[in-house]
Amino acid sequence: MKNRHILKIKKLMKNDSAEYTFRHQTEEGGQKQSDLPGVTLVVTGLRVKFTPSAEVTEGQRVTLTCRTSCPLTDNTNYIWYLNTRPLTLPENQNKHLVLDPVSSQHAGNYSCAVKNSISSHERTLTVQGKSMAIINAVRLTIALMIPIPLLLFHLWMRKKKTLTSTAEPSDQGKR
């Protein structure tokens, strides 16, 4: 292909981010800069996102998504890791990992990678047991219920004080 030049970078890394320009060699052995503008390449890392959150209760559904700021092709194969060990999933792994229902054995540090070249940082998924969720619900209920009796006691004391002060006869009328 005459006058068509392609640059392929294998095993793309973050430090490949740069502005790339084209120069060609002249017949005299020198180099000539192209009149065309350069191309800026920004290589971004992958990130793991948890939906609904990184803290869930056993039995819920949680979706992990391997995200990047640049679009990847639909046929990209993703590799998922739990505590640095690859997960054995179906052949065509996509950017979503669904845990439904989630259990305590799913808790740990997750990361994702694309074709063993770009990988994300680990993110922690915390899974509470159902009993812990019940304990937390009871704690919340108690925390919300304590102010009600205190408020009622305060109002009763205030009303009692008001009734007492209006019911006492005036000392000036007895003399």
Mean pLDDT of the chain: 80
Q: Which tokens sit at 66?
A: 């391997």
Which pLDDT value is given to residue 11? 74
pLDDT tens digits for 146-156? 777 777 877 88
Mean local confidence (pLDDT), 24-28:
75
Residue range 51-103, pLDDT digits in tens: 999 999 999 999 999 988 777 777 788 889 999 999 987 666 688 999 999 99
- Specify the pLDDT at position 123: 92
pTM: 0.55
Cβ neighbours for 41, distance < 8 A, ≥ 6 positions apart: 16, 17, 18, 19, 20
Residue 91: its pLDDT value, please? 63
- Between CA 80 and CA 53 the distance in angstroms is 18
Q: What is the pLDDT of residue 32?
A: 74
Tell me: pLDDT of 131 over 90. no
Q: Where are the alpha helices (DSSP H) in the chain?
A: 130-145, 147-167
47-129 CATH choice from 3.30.70.660, 3.40.50.1100, 3.20.20.70, 2.60.40.10? 2.60.40.10
What distances in angstroms separate CA 133 from CA 55, 100, 102, 130, 145, one per listed residue?
11, 18, 14, 5, 18
